[in-house]
Amino acid sequence: MGDVHGLFQLDMKLCLIKENLAYFVEDIENVTGDDWNDKPYECNAGDPYEEFDPLVVYFDEGYISRRPGTSFDAENYVSLDEIKESRGSFIVYYKDGDSISYGDTLKKFVETLRKHEGNAYFLVEVETPED
Task: For residues 51 and 27, give the distance between their C-alpha atoms in angstroms, rounded to a whole number.
Answer: 10
The per-residue pLDDT for range 80-100, each reduced to its tens digit, is 999 999 988 999 999 898 999
- DSSP class of residue 72 equals T
Q: What are the C-alpha distances in Å from 87 to residues 14, 43, 101, 128? A: 10, 19, 6, 41
pTM more than 0.95: no
Cβ-contact 59, 106 below 8 angstroms: no
Task: For residues 60 and 120, give the distance between their C-alpha atoms in angstroms, rounded to a whole number.
Answer: 7
The per-residue pLDDT for range 24-83, each reduced to its tens digit, is 999 999 999 999 999 889 889 999 999 999 999 999 988 888 888 776 666 678 899 999
